[in-house]
Amino acid sequence: MKRAAELGCANTHFTNPHGLHNENHYSTARDMARLACAAVENETLVRMASTRSVTIGGRTMTNHNKLLNQIEGCIGLKTGYTMAAGRTLVSCVERNGQRLVAVTLQDGNDWADHAALYDYGFSTYPAKLGASLGQTIQRVQVENGIERHGAPGGGGQLRLAAGGGGVLELDVELAGSLRAPIRAGRRAGEAVFLGQWKRGGPGGAAVWRRRGAPDGERPEHSEAGVAGIERGQHGRTTAEAAVRRGGFCSRRTAETYLIAGRVTVNGQTAHLGQRADPDRDEILVDGRPLAPRAEAVYILLNKPRGYVSTLSDERGRRTVAELVADCGSRVYPVGRLDLDSEGLLLLTNDGAWAQHLLHPKHEVEKTYHVSVFGPVAGAAARLAAVTDLEGEPIRPARVEVLRETPGTAVLAVTIHEGKNRQVRRMCAQCGLTVKRLRRVREGALELGDLPPGKWRYLTQDEAGALGVTP
């Protein structure tokens, strides 16, 4: 159960490993998909599940998963049936280095439905090559070295599904300034790939970590062991990244432009890895200037109940995008508030700023005013003592009683993490029923008296107070 909780299986419970019926067994298709994604990381299990037949001791055993013969790239996974659960089919298919998982429950046509799901999945969310380990994406600056820049080596590839029309952005978090000598194997930082999915909004992040320089390379060459975009003051990046972001082409094509001598910086032919500032330097492609970058926008919205924190909704529910449609830019929610929750919600078109707020290591505090009923006597102390949610460890919250009457109370709950429905789950664990949940503070920002459904721009100081200077 602990491992299930670590995988985010919030609606799963089991009492034995064999899966036979037990009244305390339950799960959802989503949770089973999460479990399957973790399972296929075990290549031994993958080999077993994808084996169609094997003969051992003169006995031949055949895999009865029909998808192995029906779907290209199927690696099997799990079939099952009990009288209580009905038909269960969990499958995984790999094509072009990308794996997708499908789960159906009580589906009488599951073989055909899985085939249709994979046709849709691979066509709608094709894998994009984020990086090849060993490929120099960008060399990063190293001080006091024989070589002033370094890059990693190695083998393998990283593929990410960004969807049709989706984009992958790359950022780098260094462990600190890099000074020679840097020994082979030292972890210098992380290359972080951020995806914006087809349906809008920050679709999530995938992290590629590569430790140090390849074995055998001399540390005096100052190999940094990190791939990414080098950023400095005034938004300095690389010439190829600036060309790509200027709307001309993909990263790979931008690199070919530089190799061919088609890019100039301040009148001089640019080279791969050259640093340039789109705001200060004149960058031309075939003599044409780059398109101006979109101005960063930071918005604070008082989200009402009944709105989902997405840009679109397949079920036709109202979205927060409708509330900020007149802001003049395409902005994305930073995190989310549940349909029935309300209050402070940030939106932006600045992916780096959003990622900073969402990254667990920055521990941006959030305060909620929570109206509850039930056994409210001592509720603050009980909530503050919660350090485990269904096997998932959490940091203790700060809880203050704002108002209390017999059977009801209004509590101020401050948390440091953003676990799924964390405050509601904490209250349920303490026997409390939530009537209203409103976020009133995030970091240094407070909701104040902004009316529900209304929004305002953040000032540069307010945006910078959350940890990243825009």
Q: Which among 233, 230, 232 has a CA at the least distance from the CA of 241?
A: 230
SS3 for the chain is: CHHHHHCCCCCCECCCCCCCCCCCCECCHHHHHHHHHHHCCCHHHHHHHHCCEEEECCEEEECCCCHHHHCCCEEEEEEEEECCCEEEEEEEEEECCEEEEEEEECCCCHHHHHHHHHHHHHHHCCEEEEEECCCCCCCEECECCCCCEECCCCCCEEEEECCCCCEEEEEEEECCCCECCCCCCCCCEEEEEEEECCCCCEEEEEEECCCCCCCCCCHHHCCCCCCCCCCCHHHCEEHHHHHHHCCCCCHHHHHHHHHCCCEEECCEECCCCCEECCCCCCEEECCEECCCCCCCCEEEEEECCCCECCCCCCCCCCEHHHHCHHHCCCCEECCCCCCCCEEEEEEECCHHHHHHHHCHHHCCCEEEEEEEECCCCCHHHHHHCCCEECCEECCCCEEEEEEEECCEEEEEEEECCCCCCHHHHHHHHCCCEEEEEEEEEECCEECCCCCCCCEEECCHHHHHHCCCCC
State yes or no: is 338 an active-site residue.
Answer: yes
* 184 neighbors 213 (Cβ within 8 angstroms): yes
Q: Cα(161)–Cα(168) distance, rounded to whole angstroms? A: 9
Q: Which of 113, 277, 313, 338 is catalytic?
A: 338
In angstroms, what CA-CA distances link 36 with 49, 95, 119? 12, 17, 19
Q: Give the residue numbers annotated as catalytic, written as ranges.
A: 338
